[in-house]
Amino acid sequence: QVQLQQSGPRLVKPSQTLVLTCVISGDSVSSNIATWNWIRQSPSRGLEWLGRTYYRSKWFDDYALSVRGRITINPDTAKNQFSLHLNSVTPDDTAVYYCSRNSAFDIWGQGTMVTVSS
Amino acid sequence: DIVMTQSPDSLAVSLGERATINCKSSHSIFYNSNNENCLAWYQQKPGQPPRLLIYWASSREPGVPDRFSGSGSGTDFTLTISSLQAEDVAVYYCQQYFILPFTFGQGTKLEIK
């Protein structure tokens, strides 16, 4: 079955870049029918969709306005994974971060609690 | 952005009784191309990611018990648990995938009375 395995640091300093990786098993990041998303959850913001990447003969990405300009989601076909890069983080970016598949999010990673603090 | 508003914020129901959670979108999420509503329901238990229960407003995800059902169209939707079981205690969320950014409701906490 399809699984998503997340990895990355749990503590990031303010102004630095948060980098999380999501490894896909049982599906392909280059699938022509799937999309690959990052979502976060915090008490103040609830569940918040951050962005996605997907392949339809070429690569596309979409990002939420709240993080646009600070976010990049990159596919890695060689490792069958995708990553989240969120730069210039502040304490407001403290949240549980999830990777997920498709628009009705049918498969989720286990979640990574990321704290932004000096 | 489409705003998703759930009601109630919390709900206590006796075991074996019906639980009903409502979700209202600020804009119609009916997709004319396939005559479906772009609405999903999730269940989240502490320390776990959300679990997809329902998509296209009324289609049950494989493995989800048939006591869970979804209904509604346009802007008003309902998740019904026909006979509450102890393992159904969780927070439930609705989500629209009609237009970016995808947005979630604030959640409804379901407890046992």
Amino acid letter, B78: T
Residue of A54, A103, A112 best to disrupt the B interface, most CBs of B under 10 A: A103
Query: What are A5-29's pLDDT values in tens digits?
Result: 999 999 999 999 999 999 999 999 9
Cβ contact B42–A105 (<8 Å): yes
pLDDT band at B85 (very low <50, low <70, confident <90, very high): very high
Q: Looking at the complex, does the CB of residue A113 fall below 8 Å from at least one CB of chain B?
A: no
Nearest Cα of chain A lies from the Cα of B25 at a distance, in angstroms, of 16
Residue A51 CA to residue A23 CA, distance in Å, equals 17
pLDDT at B107 (0 to 100): 98
Give Cβ neighbours of residue A26 (< 8 Å, ≥ 6 apart): A1, A2, A3
pLDDT at B60 (0 to 100): 98
pLDDT at B20 (0 to 100): 98
Cβ contact A49–B61 (<8 Å): no
Residue A8 CA to residue A17 CA, distance in Å, equals 11
Distance of CA A39 to the CA centre of its chain: 6
For residue A104, give the nearest of B97, B32, B27 by alpha carbon: B97
Residue A88 CA to residue A13 CA, distance in Å, equals 9
Query: What are B23-74's pLDDT values in tens digits?
Result: 999 999 999 999 999 999 999 999 999 999 999 999 999 999 999 999 999 9
Q: Looking at the complex, does the CB of residue B95 fall below 8 Å from at least one CB of chain A?
A: yes
Across the interface, which of B38, B55, B104 has its CB nearest the CB of A46?
B104
Stretch A42-54: mean pLDDT = 97
The one-character DSSP state at B101 is S
pLDDT at A89 (0 to 100): 98
Query: What are B2-35's pLDDT values in tens digits?
Result: 999 999 999 999 999 999 999 999 999 999 999 9
Are A98 and A111 within 8 A, CB to CB?
A: yes
Q: Percent of chain A, pLDDT > 90?
A: 99
pLDDT at A7 (0 to 100): 97
Query: What are A63-103's pLDDT values in tens digits?
Result: 999 998 999 999 999 999 999 999 999 999 999 999 999 99
Across the interface, which of A48, A62, A104 has its CB nearest the CB of B52?
A104
B88 phi and psi angles, rounded to 5 deg: -85, -5
Question: What is residue A63's three-state secondary structure?
Answer: strand
Residue of B102, B103, B104, B108 best to disrupt the A interface, most CBs of A under 10 A: B102
